[in-house]
């Protein structure tokens, strides 16, 4: 994990529950109109060159608070490191920061709620997770430091020991934790770790002179305060959210990153015994009449609202198993249903003691944007009411109505209860097919001069062909490849082709799908950066010895792979001739085509 936490910021808007709650776990909106101001997460808007992070888009929708870095100070992206999600890794000499200084447009006083999922790689040295600019100022808007196993949190004038959060004697700081921090002048400052309150202090300082400050992750890179550790997600509101919302977000983060919640564990469908429903977790709940959240969607397509019987300390949360989002399941379905989503959701309906409760009837909405044509009367809600993991023995629930903008609602649903699974189905796979035709589209650099382009379709109707288009600026596009489509198909199909002559620098790729009647649509855009490195592999083709030489970077971590991806380092011998030249002996390697991986780039060579 890397480290600690939050202080933070403030501002001007509160929540508006009249709009879809698309913020973390369904708290706030992600369009910049609510108090959610910062939302950095590794599964959204991360741009990299190799493994170096160039920038992270602010998922809260406040573009001025996007973060970026250049040169050697960029942190590293480690893929699949935390429950399948990526992490941002900081070594003490790198950072990410906003390009603009903070203004009172976004932050105005010392009220805030923040969340950080991180771990410390070094708890015996000063490590800044958030800091301000100038770094040497004695008054800092944010300042979070784990140092000698002590965690500091503050918002306001720096270093007032009677006001700041300061917790020592903590263990396990090198493991991931969910740290949540609240600040409000009337109620003071509170720090929680994995749902447990660590400390509460009176709020005796106010600091709003932040016009000269920039928000940073990674801290001081010019001195000794560089952050050493890993971060997966950061969430900051510019007001103090209510206690029900804090519990909901803590459970969302704990589920997503497989972290045990010590207190208020109201969602246990993320546990392995319950099937690991870890994804797009969201929830509604109530602590008391003043601390309630009764409308949520989050990052997924399911929105639940209007509970009729939500009482104190009761919550309803849900997540899914990350199966394919399309109606390709045609076996485990009730009579009268033609297909259902492969993806399945599961709900926890429990109180803060994790005892099953009943929050009453609910309205459940499905955002089916991008899932093809839909007739509301074709939709069926399937609930595994006997909790046997099978839907074919259930009674489909009808009555969906269209709310416009591709949103469909089942009103007054009572079938969903604690630990039950649910999903969406269609009774007419032609009229309401539901699967996304294009499952994914990927562009990947596989050698220094070759880009692999692959994609999958779940179904095809009247599909003539695909055209791969490339651009150097994202505006002007050229056709580089044409691949025939399948015409009509109801099974998953895989496609692959290659760009053998990419441009030096940044290449943009997109897929244009064309029907026989001339209609077409585009995929999302993918980017590949072809660096003009001065790296040479010679002789190529080679016999028993090959050299790798680089004019401008130190060669490290050399790996040799065959055509099926097997690592051959155990049968080769490497000799470092200098920092920029390596000799590789290939006597035990059969003739054929191979790949050398060094510094996150691949190079192809032939032994003959």
Number of domains comprising the chain: 4
Q: Are residues 577 and 479 in the same domain?
A: no
Q: Are residues 199 and 313 in the same domain?
A: no
Q: Are residues 80 and 227 in the same domain?
A: yes
| Cα distances (Å, whole numbers) of residue 331 to 186, 192, 421 | 58, 46, 17
Q: Are residues 58 and 144 in the same domain?
A: yes
pLDDT of residue 163: 63
Nearest alpha-carbon partner for 246 in 196, 200, 305, 206: 196
* Residue 334's CATH number: 2.60.220
* Residue 167's CATH number: 2.60.120.200
Q: Are residues 322 and 394 in the same domain?
A: yes
Q: Are residues 294 and 326 in the same domain?
A: yes
- pLDDT tens-digit map of 356-399: 999 999 999 999 987 878 999 999 999 999 999 999 999 999 99
The kind and range of the H/E element at 248 are: helix 243-256
What are the φ/ψ torsions at residue 427 (nearest 5 degrees)? -95, 0
Which pair of tokens denotes residue 429? 């796979």
**Alpha-carbon dihedral 46, 48, 51, 53, rounded to 10 degrees:** -70
Which pair of tokens denotes residue 266? 């109201």
pLDDT of residue 161: 55
pLDDT of residue 212: 60
Q: Is residue 10 part of a domain?
A: no
Q: Is residue 5 part of a domain?
A: no
Q: Are residues 279 and 354 in the same domain?
A: yes
Q: Are residues 415 and 472 in the same domain?
A: no
Among residues 256, 282, 317, the one where a domain terminates is: 256
pLDDT of residue 394: 98
Q: Are residues 522 and 374 in the same domain?
A: no
Among residues 482, 504, 530, the one where a domain terminates is: 530
The residues facing 236 across adjacent strands are 38, 114
Nearest alpha-carbon partner for 142 in 53, 199, 210: 210
Sign of CA dihedral 333, 299, 75, 508: positive
Which pair of tokens denotes residue 357? 């409760």
Among residues 483, 502, 530, the one where a domain terminates is: 530
* Residue 500's CATH number: 2.60.40.10
* DSSP conformation letters of 40-66: EETTSSEEEETTEEEEE--TTS-GGG-
- Cβ density class 433-449: b for 16+ within 10 Å, e for less: bbbbbbbebebebebbe
Q: Is residue 267 part of a domain?
A: no
Contact status, residue 232 vs residue 82, Cβ threshold 8 Å: yes
Q: Are residues 181 and 250 in the same domain?
A: yes
pLDDT of residue 320: 96
Residue 182 CB contacts under 8 Å (≥ 6 apart), including other chains: 112, 113, 189, 190, 240, 241, 246
Q: Is residue 60 part of a domain?
A: yes
Strand, helix or coil for residue 470? strand
Strand, helix or coil for residue 272? helix
Q: Which domain holds residue 313?
A: 272-426
Nearest alpha-carbon partner for 461 in 482, 486, 444: 486
Burial class (CB in 10 A: 0-12, 13-18, 19+), 261: buried
Task: Please list the ranges in the chain whose pLDDT falls under 50.
Answer: 1-17, 126-128, 131, 133-143, 145-148, 158, 221
Q: Are residues 61 and 168 in the same domain?
A: yes
Q: Is residue 14 part of a domain?
A: no
pLDDT of residue 7: 31
**pTM, whole model, 2 decimals?**
0.73
Please state, as a whole number, how many other Cβ atoms lie within 10 Å of the Cβ of residue 176.
25
**Alpha-carbon dihedral 136, 140, 141, 143, rounded to 10 degrees:** 90
Strand, helix or coil for residue 153? strand
pLDDT of residue 472: 80
Q: Are residues 232 and 276 in the same domain?
A: no
């Amino acid at each position: 994990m890397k480290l600690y936490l939050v202080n933070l910021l403030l501002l001007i808007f509160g929540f508006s529950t009249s709009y879809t709650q698309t913020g973390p776990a369904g708290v706030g909106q992600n369009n910049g109109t609510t108090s959610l101001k910062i939302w950095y997460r590794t599964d959204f808007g991360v741009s990299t060159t190799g493994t170096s992070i160039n920038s992270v888009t602010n998922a809260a929708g406040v573009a001025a608070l996007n973060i970026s870095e250049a040169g050697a100070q960029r942190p590293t992206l480690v893929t699949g490191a935390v429950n399948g999600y990526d992490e941002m890794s900081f070594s003490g000499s790198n950072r990410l920061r906003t390009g603009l200084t903070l203004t009172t447009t976004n932050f105005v006083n010392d009220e805030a709620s923040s969340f950080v999922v991180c771990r410390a790689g070094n708890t015996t040295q000063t490590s800044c997770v958030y800091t301000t600019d100038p770094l040497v100022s004695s008054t800092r808007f944010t300042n979070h430091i784990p140092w000698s196993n002590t965690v500091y949190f503050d918002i306001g004038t720096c270093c007032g020991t009677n006001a700041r959060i300061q917790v020592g004697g903590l263990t396990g700081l090198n493991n991931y934790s969910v740290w949540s921090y609240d600040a409000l002048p009337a109620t003071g400052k509170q720090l929680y770790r994995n749902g447990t309150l660590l400390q509460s202090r009176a709020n005796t300082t106010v600091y709003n002179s932040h016009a000269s400050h920039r928000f940073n992750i990674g801290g001081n890179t010019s001195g000794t305060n560089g952050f050493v550790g890993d971060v997966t997600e950061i969430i900051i509101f510019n007001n103090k959210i209510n206690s029900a919302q804090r519990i909901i977000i803590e459970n969302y983060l704990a589920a997503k990153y497989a972290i045990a919640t010590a207190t208020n564990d109201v969602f246990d469908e993320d546990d392995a015994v319950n099937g690991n429903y870890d994804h797009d977790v969201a929830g509604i709940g109530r602590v008391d009449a003043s601390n309630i959240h009764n409308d949520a969607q989050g990052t997924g397509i399911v929105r639940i609202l209007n509970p009729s019987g939500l009482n104190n300390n009761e919550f309803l949360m849900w997540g899914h198993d990350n199966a394919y989002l399309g109606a390709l399941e045609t076996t485990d379905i009730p009579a009268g249903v033609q297909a259902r989503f492969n993806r399945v959701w599961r709900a926890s309906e429990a109180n803060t003691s994790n005892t099953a409760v009943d929050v009453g009837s609910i309205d459940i909405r499905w955002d089916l944007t991008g899932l093809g044509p839909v007739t509301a009367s074709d939709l069926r809600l399937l609930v595994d009411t006997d909790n046997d993991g099978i839907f074919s023995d259930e009674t489909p629930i009808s009555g969906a109505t269209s709310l416009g903008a591709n949103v469909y609602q089942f009103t007054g649903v009572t079938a969903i209860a604690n630990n039950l699974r649910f999903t969406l189905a269609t009774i007419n796979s032609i009229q309401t097919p539901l699967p996304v035709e294009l499952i994914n589209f990927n562009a990947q650099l596989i050698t220094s001069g070759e880009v692999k382009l692959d994609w999958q379709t779940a179904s095809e109707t009247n599909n003539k062909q695909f055209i791969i288009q490339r651009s150097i600026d994202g505006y002007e596009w050229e056709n580089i490849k044409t691949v025939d489509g399948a015409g009509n198909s109801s099974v998953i199909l895989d496609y692959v082709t290659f760009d053998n002559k990419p441009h030096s620098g940044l290449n943009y790729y997109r897929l244009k799908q064309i029907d026989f009647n001339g209609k077409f649509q585009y995929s999302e855009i993918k980017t590949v950066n072809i660096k003009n490195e001065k790296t040479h592999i010679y002789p190529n083709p080679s016999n028993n010895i090959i050299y790798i030489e680089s004019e401008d970077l130190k060669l490290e971590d050399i790996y040799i792979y065959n055509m099926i991806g097997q690592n051959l380092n155990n049968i080769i011998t490497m000799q470092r001739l200098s920092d920029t030249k390596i000799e590789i002996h290939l006597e035990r390697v059969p003739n054929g085509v191979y790949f050398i991986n060094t510094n996150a780039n691949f190079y192809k060579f032939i032994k003959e």
